Amino acid sequence: MALEKSLILLKPDAVQRRLCGEIITRLENKGLKLIAMKMLQVTKELAAQHYEEHVEKPFYPMLEEFITSGPVVAIVVEGPEAVSVVRGMMGKTNGRESAPGTIRGDFGLSRQVNLIHGSDGPEAALREIGIYFQAEEVLSYKSSLDEWVC
């Protein structure tokens, strides 16, 4: 089973609502391994780099305002098929359409203010990890749980 990395952002609403611990606990309980984590303020430049596919879209000004509105937590997780596993745990973009049991389905009602970002493919993940982290900030370590969760 191929290990993948995924870049996760706990968006400004997750920080403001004190939901970071809850969301990180879900990721850890699933068996995903945290291999990098930091808190930061996203700038307009960083937002445009991250969401480059959306910069020309009509909703981008609102997305920029939201994602730069307060601190975020950037995380890299690793695990088997981590990208699709995380996307499943997040739920749909719109919290109102997300299934109960998903992060957005359990905690949100908004299409935009939706708690969490997760990379949408393994290549996107590598690009996004490079935007938020220096290579030496992404760690590699063995855990005694590895053989039990993979």
Q: How far apart are CA 121 and CA 82, in angstroms?
A: 10
**Beta carbon of residue 23, minimum distance to ligand RTP (angstroms, whole number):** 13
Nearest to 26 by CA among 96, 112, 141, 118: 118
Binding residue for ligand RTP, selected from 5, 24, 117, 133, defined by CB under 6 A: 117
CB of 118 closer than 8 Å to CB of 103: no
Whether residue 129 contacts residue 38, with contact meaning beta carbons closer than 8 Å, is answered with no
Query: Does 16 sit near ligand RTP (CB under 6 A)?
Result: no
Which span (14-22, 40-48, 55-63, 68-76) binds ligand RTP, by CB under 6 A?
55-63
Distance CA 44, CA 143 (A): 37
Catalytic residue among 117, 119, 125, 132: 117
Q: Does 112 bind ligand RTP (CB under 6 A)?
A: yes
- In the complex, the residues that contact ligand RTP under the rule CB under 6 A are 54, 59, 62-63, 93, 111-112, 114, 117-118, 120
